[in-house]
């Protein structure tokens, strides 16, 4: 009996395997069901709860959440000057960090992909990515020591009669640029490494100077990768609040307001939290036109 039942079980497994082999779409659906369900329940579900709670209110006396539908939180966001300034400042910081990362990453990636000897290129890429292996807080506090009064920045600039930026908005932009720079270097390096050398030779043969070759040949082919890297630098900078809290002095961004309101006014914190989500979605739609999403 045991042998017969084992044979029946093996036959059932074979029939099931054969059915899945003949139906690749069914096999793919079964493989993706669990991760998609996890994504829908935990990620999209939490975003839905965030969006819904943004329309609730808070009892001004007890600070308890009142589940009554209202648009007061969003009206306050766009009518209160402080909130408007913080939102604009947050977007401006994210854009500034993205531009700085692109400006620094392009020559760095060009050297690692086109100038350095082939045997050194993997080591250089590893060296660029090495800061990502260190703790986020360790790197931020290291920059706090560098930018503090009498720190390394002051010591290096003192011979020129200058001083470091100290703590504030410039320090936050500088630290965020350092934190997210590898995310910009890597896609640009990959794009430049895949750039056909005969295109550069053909441009030179046709009499194009270095700037014209960069503008007409290199930049159009690498631009999707720059846009792909900007998705990381922009979104990570827009949602950051720890760096600003450590080196930003009195500067406040959206993340700081969310953190400060989450205990006293949860619906307002949720309304503030929806702002970067909407901004990032709009940014992704804009970058989609450049082909950045296919370069990720």
Asked if the model's pLDDT at residue 30 lies above 70, the reply is no
The 10s digit of each residue's pLDDT in 185-194 is: 999 988 888 8
**Cα–Cα distance for residue pair 284/235, rounded to 1 Å:** 10
The pLDDT value given to residue 8: 47
Tens digits of residue pLDDT in 74-121: 888 888 888 889 999 999 999 999 999 999 998 898 888 888 888 888
Q: How far apart are CA 24 and CA 133, in angstroms?
A: 39
Instruction: Please give the Cα distance from 253 to 241 (Å, whole number).
Output: 7
Asked if pLDDT for residue 296 goes beyond 60, the answer is no
Coil, helix or strand at residue 152 = helix
* Residue 66, strand partner residues: 57
Greater confidence (191 vs 10) lies with 191
State the average pLDDT for the chain: 81
Residue with tokens 């920045």: 153
* CA–CA distance, 236 with 229 (Å, rounded to integer): 11
Distances (CA, A) of 108 to 103, 113, 157, 194, 237: 9, 9, 24, 16, 21
With 80 as the cut, is the pLDDT of residue 35 above it? no
Q: Is the dihedral of CA 261, 265, 269, 271 positive or negative?
A: negative
Q: How confident is the model at residue 3 (pLDDT cuts 50, 70, 90)?
A: very low
For residues 23 and 201, give the distance between their C-alpha atoms in angstroms, rounded to a whole number.
49
- H or E element in which residue 58 lies: strand 57-58
Give the closest residue to 175 by CA, choosing from 269, 77, 246.
246
The span from the CA of 56 to the CA of 139, in Å, is: 38
- What confidence tier does 20 reach under pLDDT thresholds 50, 70, 90? low
* 54 neighbors 273 (Cβ within 8 angstroms): yes
User: Range with the lowest mean pLDDT among 138-152, 187-201, 222-236, 243-257?
Assistant: 187-201
CA distances from 79 to 50, 82, 84, 244 (A): 21, 9, 7, 24
List residues bridging with 65 in a β-sheet. 58
Q: What is the pLDDT of residue 293?
A: 60
Closest CA to 290 of 231, 217, 224, 193: 224
pTM: 0.81
For the residues 165-186, what does the mean pLDDT come to? 91
The confidence band for 262, taking pLDDT boundaries of 50, 70 and 90, is confident
Give the per-residue pLDDT at 289: 72
Which tops the pLDDT comparison, 92 or 291? 92
Identify the CA nearest to 143 among candidates 230, 245, 255: 245
């Amino acid at each position: 009996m045991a042998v017969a039942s084992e044979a029946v079980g093996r036959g059932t497994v074979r029939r099931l395997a054969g059915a899945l082999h003949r139906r690749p779409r069914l096999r793919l659906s079964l493989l993706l069901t669990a991760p998609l369900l996890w994504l829908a329940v935990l990620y999209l579900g939490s975003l839905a709860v965030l969006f819904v709670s943004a329309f609730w209110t808070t009892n001004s006396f007890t600070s308890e959440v009142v589940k009554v539908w209202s648009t007061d939180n969003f009206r306050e966001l766009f009518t209160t000057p402080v909130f408007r300034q913080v939102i604009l400042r947050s977007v401006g910081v994210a854009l500034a960090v993205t531009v700085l990362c692109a400006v620094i990453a392009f020559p760095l990636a060009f050297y690692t992909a086109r100038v350095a000897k082939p045997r050194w290129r993997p080591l250089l890429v590893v060296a660029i990515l090495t800061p990502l292996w260190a703790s986020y807080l360790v790197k931020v506090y290291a920059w706090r020591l560098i930018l503090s009064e009498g720190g390394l920045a002051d010591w290096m600039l003192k011979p020129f009669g200058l001083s470091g930026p100290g703590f504030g908005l410039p320090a936050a932009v500088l630290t965020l640029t350092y934190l997210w720079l590898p995310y910009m270097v890597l896609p640009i390096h990959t794009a430049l490494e895949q750039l056909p050398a005969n295109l550069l030779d053909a441009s030179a043969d046709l009499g194009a100077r270095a700037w014209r070759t960069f503008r007409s040949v290199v930049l159009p082919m690498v631009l999707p990768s720059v846009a792909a890297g900007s998705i990381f630098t922009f979104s990570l900078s827009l949602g950051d609040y720890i760096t600003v809290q450590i080196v930003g002095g009195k500067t406040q961004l959206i993340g700081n307001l969310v953190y400060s309101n989450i205990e006293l006014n949860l619906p307002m914190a949720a309304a503030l939290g929806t702002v970067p989500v909407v901004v990032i979605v709009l940014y992704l739609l804009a970058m989609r036109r450049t082909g950045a999403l296919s370069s990720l």
